[in-house]
C-alpha cells in the first residue's frame, strides 16, 4: 500500500511536469484546445464517480454543476474582473453549496427519483440563467481574456495547465476517498442503505459529503471554460451532453476504482475529439451512444471491471 | 453477574404506539428488558414484531420517551447513533453488503460503529474481524464475496456483523427462518453463546422449539398488542396465544 502511494505521487508529479513542458515545447495551439477538453472531462468523470460510483447515486445534473461553474466565472469576471484562480475557487464554493442542497435531497429521494430530480435541477438553473440579463441572458456573453501571466506563453496553454492541476486534485481526492473509511461507508450504503445505517454508518452525512465534494469539483472544472471559449451562453454551458458524456465515461471506464473514470474519459474524450475533427460533431454523439450500449452489454462494470475479471480468471487458472 | 430482575432495565419500552395511516401496527406496548436477558418475541405474521424492532433500532421514529436505552431516551437518535450506543440487529431477509467480502462486511462495523481509537490500526481491526468470524465458524469464508454464501452462512454473517458493532443488545429477527433443523441448532447455539458473553438478546422467531429452548421470558404480540408475557411454558399454555396462532 505504501509503495503504491509513492508511485502514485511520482506519477502525479511526472504528469504535471510533462504538461508544463508541453506548454513550453509545443507552439501549435490546437493540441491545447483539444487536450483541454479531455482534461476537463477527466475532472468531470472523476468527480461524478465520487457520488455515482462510490455511493451509487446517479447524477444526471453534471451540466447543472458545470454550467454554474461557467457562470460563476462569468459573473465574477464581469463584476470585478476577478482573476482565474478566484473564479475557480469561488466556483468550487458554489458547487459545494449546490452539492449540499443535492445531498439533502437524498434524504427523501433514492434511486431513480434522485436521478430525475437532478435533471430537474439542471432545467431550473438553466432557465434562471437564461432570464438573467446581467450575465448575458439567452443571447450569451462575450468575454475578453486578460493578458496572460508569466510563465505561460498563451492563455490557452495556461488554461490547459490549470485544468491539469484540477485533474490531479480530483484524482487525489477520489483516491483518498476510495482508500479511506469514507469509501467503505459509501460502498456500504450503496449496497444497502438501511443495513449500513444499522451497522453504524452515518449514511446521510456521508451522502452529503460525497455530493459536496463531487459538486465542488464539477463546478471548478467548469469555471475555466468561460475564458477558454471567451464566450458563454446558457444552452451550451448547461448542455445535456456534459451529463451524458460524463456518465458514459465513468461507466465505460468503470467506477470500482478511481482510475476507471480517467481511462474512460481519455478513451471517449479522445475518440470524440478525433471524430469531431475528421467527421462531424454530430457523429460523436452517435458513437457515444453505441459505445455505451456495447459496454452495458459486454462489460457492465466497465474496463476496470473487465480487467479485474480477466486477472481473477488467470489467477484461478494458475491455482 | 447479577441475576435478571435485580438491576435497572437495559431497555424500557413504554406506551409505544406506531401508526401507518389508519393502521395501528403497535398499540400502547410497554415492556422492560433486563440486562443479560434472553428474550423471545413471538406472534403471528403481521402482529408488529418487526415494527417493534424497527422502532427500537431506529428505522422508524417514535414519540419521545417511548424507547429508553440504558436510562437514556433514544427516540430522537438516528439508527447509526443507536448502533454506536449498543443496539445491533440482524434482518429478517439478510441484507449483506453484496459488493464486499465477508470480512469487509465486518470491517464496516468496526470502522463506523466502534469508537475509533487512532492507536488501533487497520491491521488490528482486521484481526478483530477475523476472530469474530472464527467464533461464528466463518473464518474459512472471510475472503469470499458475500454473494457466494449459503443461506445459513448469510445468517451467521449478519450476526457476526452485528457482533462487530460490540452491542449490548442484539436483536435477531428470524435468524433461523428457512434453515434446516441442524442449521437451526447451529444458529441457536451461537445465540446462546452470545448471551453468555453478557449480551442481552431479543430473538424473534417462529420456530417454537427454538424459542422455548432459548428464552428466559417470552412475549407474544397480536395485532400490535401484548397478549401474553412471562415464562415460555406459561405463554405457550395461554389460551389467547393459542387462539392467535391457530385462529378461532
For the residues A71-82, what does the mean pLDDT come to? 91
User: Which residue of B lies nearest to A203 if distances are taken between CA atoms?
Assistant: B80
A200 inside 8 A of chain B by CB: yes
A197 contacts B59? CB cut-off 8 A: yes
* The pLDDT of residue B54 is above 70: yes
Does A223 reside within a domain? Answer: yes
Does B123 reside within a domain? Answer: no
Using CB atoms and an 8 Å cut-off, which of residues 105-144 of chain B contact chain A?
107-109, 111-114
B97 contacts A192? CB cut-off 8 A: yes
Using CA of residue B131, residue B134, residue B135, residue B136, what is the dihedral sign? positive
pLDDT band at B2 (very low <50, low <70, confident <90, very high): very low
Pairing of β B23-33 and β B11-20: antiparallel
pLDDT band at B1 (very low <50, low <70, confident <90, very high): very low
How many whole angstroms separate alpha carbon B135 and alpha carbon B156?
10
Beta bridge partners of B41: B204, B219
Chain-centroid distance, C-alpha B18 = 19
Does A48 reside within a domain? Answer: yes
B108 contacts A196? CB cut-off 8 A: yes
Helix, strand, coil % over all residues of chain B, rounded to 5: 40, 25, 35
Closest by Cα among B239, B191, B184, B172 to B208: B184
Inter-residue contact B15 to B68 (CB < 8 Å): no
Structural domain span for residue A231? 2-239
pLDDT in tens, A143-170: 888 888 777 888 888 999 999 999 999 9
Does B4 reside within a domain? Answer: no
Does B72 reside within a domain? Answer: yes
A187 contacts B96? CB cut-off 8 A: no
The segment with the largest mean pLDDT, out of A63-72, B2-11, B17-26, is: A63-72
Helical H runs in chain A?
2-25, 30-49, 62-80, 84-105, 112-130, 155-179, 181-191, 193-197, 203-222, 225-229, 234-237, 240-253, 259-278, 281-298, 302-318
Helical H runs in chain B?
49-57, 79-85, 102-112, 122-135, 151-164, 181-196, 208-214, 232-237, 239-246
* The pLDDT of residue A73 is above 90: yes
Q: For an interface test with B, which of A199, A257, A301, A309 has the most B Cβ atoms less than 10 Å from its Cβ?
A: A199
CATH number, domain with residue B31: 3.40.50.300
Does B129 reside within a domain? Answer: no
pLDDT given for residue A128 in this prediction = 93
A39's grid cell: 482534461
For the residues A254-259, what does the mean pLDDT come to? 87
Does A271 reside within a domain? Answer: no
Facing A199 at nearest CB: one of B58, B78, B161: B161
Inter-residue contact A224 to A209 (CB < 8 Å): no
| Helix or strand run (H / E) with residue B39 | strand B38-42
pTM to 2 decimal places? 0.88
Query: Residue A187: its chain B contacts at CB < 8 A?
Result: 97, 99-100
Percent of chain A with pLDDT over 70: 99
* The pLDDT of residue B21 is above 80: yes
Does B85 reside within a domain? Answer: yes
Percent of chain B with pLDDT over 70: 94
Number of domains in chain A: 1
Does A227 reside within a domain? Answer: yes
A198 contacts B89? CB cut-off 8 A: yes
Structural domain span for residue B192? 11-97+167-246
Residues in chain B: 248
A191 contacts B99? CB cut-off 8 A: yes
Does B242 reside within a domain? Answer: yes
Does A292 reside within a domain? Answer: no
Inter-residue contact A222 to A61 (CB < 8 Å): no
Number of domains in chain B: 1
Q: Model ipTM?
A: 0.87
Does A306 reside within a domain? Answer: no
pLDDT given for residue A271 in this prediction = 87
B68's grid cell: 429508553
User: CB-side exposure of B148: number of CA atoms within 13 Å?
Assistant: 10
Amino acid at each position: 500500500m505504501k509503495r503504491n502511494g509513492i508511485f502514485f505521487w511520482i506519477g502525479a508529479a511526472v504528469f504535471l511536469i510533462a504538461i508544463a513542458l508541453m506548454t513550453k515545447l509545443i507552439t501549435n495551439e490546437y493540441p491545447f484546445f483539444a487536450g483541454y477538453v479531455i482534461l476537463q472531462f477527466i475532472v468531470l468523470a472523476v468527480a461524478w464517480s465520487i457520488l455515482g460510483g462510490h455511493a451509487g447515486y446517479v447524477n444526471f445534473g453534471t451540466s447543472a454543476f458545470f454550467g454554474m461553474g461557467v457562470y460563476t466565472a462569468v459573473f465574477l469576471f464581469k463584476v470585478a474582473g476577478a482573476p482565474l484562480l478566484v473564479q475557480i475557487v469561488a466556483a468550487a464554493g458554489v458547487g459545494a453549496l449546490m452539492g449540499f442542497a443535492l445531498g439533502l435531497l437524498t434524504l427523501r429521494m433514492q434511486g431513480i427519483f434522485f436521478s430525475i430530480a437532478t435533471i430537474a435541477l439542471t432545467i431550473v438553473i438553466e432557465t434562471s440563467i437564461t432570464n438573467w440579463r446581467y450575465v448575458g441572458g439567452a443571447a450569451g456573453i462575450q468575454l475578453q481574456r486578460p493578458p496572460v501571466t508569466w510563465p505561460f506563453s498563451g492563455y490557452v496553454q495556461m488554461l490547459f495547465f490549470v485544468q491539469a492541476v484540477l485533474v490531479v486534485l480530483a484524482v487525489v481526492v477520489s483516491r483518498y476517498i476510495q482508500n479511506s473509511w469514507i469509501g467503505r461507508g459509501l460502498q456500504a450504503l450503496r449496497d444497502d442503505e438501511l443495513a449500513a445505517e444499522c451497522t453504524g454508518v452515518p449514511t446521510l452525512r456521508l451522502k452529503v459529503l460525497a455530493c459536496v465534494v463531487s459538486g465542488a469539483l464539477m463546478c471548478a472544472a467548469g469555471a475555466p471554460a468561460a475564458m477558454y471559449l471567451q464566450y458563454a451562453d446558457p444552452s451550451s454551458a448547461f448542455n445535456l451532453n456534459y451529463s451524458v458524456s460524463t456518465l458514459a465515461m465513468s461507466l465505460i471506464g468503470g467506477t470500482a476504482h478511481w482510475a476507471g473514470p480517467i481511462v474512460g474519459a481519455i478513451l471517449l474524450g479522445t475518440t470524440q475529439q478525433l471524430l469531431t475533427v475528421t467527421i462531424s460533431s454530430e457523429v460523436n454523439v452517435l458513437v457515444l451512444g453505441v459505445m455505451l450500449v456495447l459496454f452495458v452489454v459486454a462489460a457492465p462494470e466497465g474496463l476496470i471491471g473487465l480487467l479485474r475479471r480477466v486477472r481473477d480468471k488467470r489467477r484461478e487458472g494458475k491455482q | 453477574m447479577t441475576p435478571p430482575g435485580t438491576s435497572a432495565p437495559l431497555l424500557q419500552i413504554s406506551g409505544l404506539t406506531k401508526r401507518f395511516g389508519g393502521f395501528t401496527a403497535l398499540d400502547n406496548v410497554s415492556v422492560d428488558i433486563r440486562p443479560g436477558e434472553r428474550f423471545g418475541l413471538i406472534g403471528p405474521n403481521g402482529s408488529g414484531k418487526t415494527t417493534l424492532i424497527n422502532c427500537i433500532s431506529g428505522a422508524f421514529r417514535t414519540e419521545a420517551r417511548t424507547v429508553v436505552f440504558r436510562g437514556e431516551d433514544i427516540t430522537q437518535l438516528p439508527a447509526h447513533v443507536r448502533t454506536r450506543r449498543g443496539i445491533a440487529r440482524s434482518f429478517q431477509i439478510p441484507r449483506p453488503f453484496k459488493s464486499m467480502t465477508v470480512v469487509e462486511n465486518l470491517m464496516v462495523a468496526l470502522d463506523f460503529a466502534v469508537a475509533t481509537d487512532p492507536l488501533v490500526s487497520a491491521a488490528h481491526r482486521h484481526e478483530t474481524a477475523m476472530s469474530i468470524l472464527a467464533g461464528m465458524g466463518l473464518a474459512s469464508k472471510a475472503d469470499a464475496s458475500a454473494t457466494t454464501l449459503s443461506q445459513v452462512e448469510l445468517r451467521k454473517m449478519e450476526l457476526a456483523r452485528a457482533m462487530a458493532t460490540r452491542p449490548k443488545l442484539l436483536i435477531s429477527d428470524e435468524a433461523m427462518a428457512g434453515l434446516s433443523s441442524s442449521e437451526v441448532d447451529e444458529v441457536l447455539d451461537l445465540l446462546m453463546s452470545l448471551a453468555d458473553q453478557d449480551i442481552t438478546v431479543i430473538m424473534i422467531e417462529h420456530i417454537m422449539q427454538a424459542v422455548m429452548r432459548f428464552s428466559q421470558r417470552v412475549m407474544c404480540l397480536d395485532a400490535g398488542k401484548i397478549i401474553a408475557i412471562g415464562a415460555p411454558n406459561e405463554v405457550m399454555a395461554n389460551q389467547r396465544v393459542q387462539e392467535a396462532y391457530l385462529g378461532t
